[in-house]
């Protein structure tokens, strides 16, 4: 029975799933945007929102909890110093999922998971 068990298994063992989501959330905060399959993006979004909520709390215990999940000290520093300021007046909904179609090889539904407010740095050509 699956009573009160939330989350997708994604065809992986629990240790593999945990490691995959730790890596995905670390990459999301490092690059502010990742491309993955839609079910993985939906699960990673849950964890990322919890990490941003910890960063908004901002105390030492919250920082240690984030360090226990996120793999990079630099990313945790970025989360607690830079990212949480963008969402100081927002109550949830820190990430967005953009559907991008299907993957060529296996037709898996793909999506972009990005932080709300993400600005892509595109160099504009200089006209002469």
Counting Cβ atoms within 10 Å, is residue 55 exposed (0-12), middle (13-18) or buried (19+)?
Answer: buried
Is the pTM higher than 0.85? The answer reads yes
Instruction: Count the domains in the chain.
Output: 1
Q: Does any domain span residue 125?
A: no
d(CA 65, CA 11): 27
Question: For the segment 36-74, what is each residue's pLDDT rounded down to a tens digit?
Answer: 999 999 999 999 999 999 999 999 999 999 999 999 999
- CATH of residue 34: 3.90.1030.10
Inside any domain, residue 47: yes
Residue 7 lies in a domain: no
Tell me, yes or no, whether 24 lies in a domain: yes
The range of the structural domain enclosing residue 74 comes to: 14-115
Average pLDDT, the chain: 93
């Amino acid at each position: 029975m699956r009573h009160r068990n939330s989350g997708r298994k994604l065809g992986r063992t629990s240790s593999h799933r945990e490691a995959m989501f730790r890596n995905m959330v670390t990459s999301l905060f490092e690059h502010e945007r990742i491309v993955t399959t839609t079910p993985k993006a939906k699960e990673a979004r849950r964890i990322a929102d919890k990490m941003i909520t910890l960063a908004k709390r901002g105390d030492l215990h919250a920082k240690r909890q984030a360090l226990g999940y996120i793999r990079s000290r630099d990313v945790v520093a970025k989360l607690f110093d830079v990212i949480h300021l963008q969402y100081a007046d927002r109550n949830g909904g820190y990430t967005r999922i953009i559907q991008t179609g299907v993957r060529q090889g296996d037709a898996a539904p793909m999506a972009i998971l990005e932080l709300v407010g993400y600005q892509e740095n595109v160099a504009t050509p200089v006209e002469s």
